[in-house]
Structure 1
Amino acid sequence: MRARTRRPTHPGSVIRLDYMEPLGLSVTALAERLGVSRKHMSGIVNERAGVTPDMALRLSRAFGTTPGLWLNMQQALDLFEAQRTPGGWEKVEALPGLSERAG
């Protein structure tokens, strides 16, 4: 698997640039529409918080997309960040015997 070099786009950026700005929506208006707090919506739009499965369902209903779109964007970003954060995961080795089973 090739390592990704460019940071994936945060879902909040997509919400802001592709939906809020063209539709003239404020954070407050979108938060009310989605049934979440303004603080929570602001965190996502300003890329300080991630998209949860619940939020993905809300966004998909509001924007006519799929929940998977939002969760896949978030997952790509989370994995990208995790790969660049030392946490001991890089020392883990494959369990013996698994390579023989894969073939």
Structure 2
Amino acid sequence: MSVVEAARSLGVSRPALSAFLNGRSDLSGTMALRFEKAFGVGMETLMRMQTAYDIAQARRGADEISVGPQSVRERVTPYAEPTSNIDRNVMRRLRAEAARRRTSVSELVEEGLARLLAESTATDPLPPLPSWRSGGHMVDISDRDALYRVMDEE
């Protein structure tokens, strides 16, 4: 089958199919669907092949890609905005300490709770941690996930 015949069958221009066949353009979702309808090769299979090729090409050039001295995922927000009804003076002190340590308020609170829990012994159980009302929600601060959910809601 010639490129002209294949292009006609697929409903695309000859230059578009030629560019794809000669590696000058990537496989699009629409082109993959056209191949599936015309030749019976699954669109998902074709797109996985394109993705695998794209990943291999990117990995081949990985040494040429540089990022700043500190990657984004390593950066830490020096402080977090207040997201709950914590006393202003307490929040101000938490922010100042978080900024001094170059960490977030959440990480600072988590560190403090971990330290508190580590200091307890089996013979000296900790009293229940307090709860506080934040915008109508009662939150047990020992439940980190619940605490973060409430903080994110506000």
Structure 1-normalised TM-score?
A: 0.60
Structure having the larger proportion of residues in helix: 1
| Post-superposition offset of 1:62 | 0.6
* Counterpart-to-counterpart distance in 1, 2:51 and 2:73: 23
Long gaps (5+) in structure 2:
77-106, 108-154
Give the structure 2 partner of residue 39 of structure 1.
Answer: 15
How many residue pairs match? The answer is 72
| Post-superposition offset of 1:94 | 5.4
Larger Rg over CA atoms: 2
Give the structure 2 partner of residue 87 of structure 1.
Answer: 65
Long gaps (5+) in structure 1:
1-24, 98-103
Identity within the alignment, %: 33
For the structure 1 residues 93 and 80, does the alpha-carbon distance in structure 2 shift closer, same or farther, using more than 3 Å as the test? farther
Partner SS, residue 65 of structure 1: coil
* Structure with more relative contact order (C-alpha pairs < 8 Å, separation 6 or more): 1
Structure 2-normalised TM-score?
A: 0.42
Root-mean-square deviation (CA, aligned residues, Å) is 2.2
Amino acid at match of 1:88: S
Amino acid at match of 1:58: R
Deviations 1:39-93 (A, max 9, x none): 010011112211000101000111112101111111111000111222236x857
Amino acid at match of 1:61: K
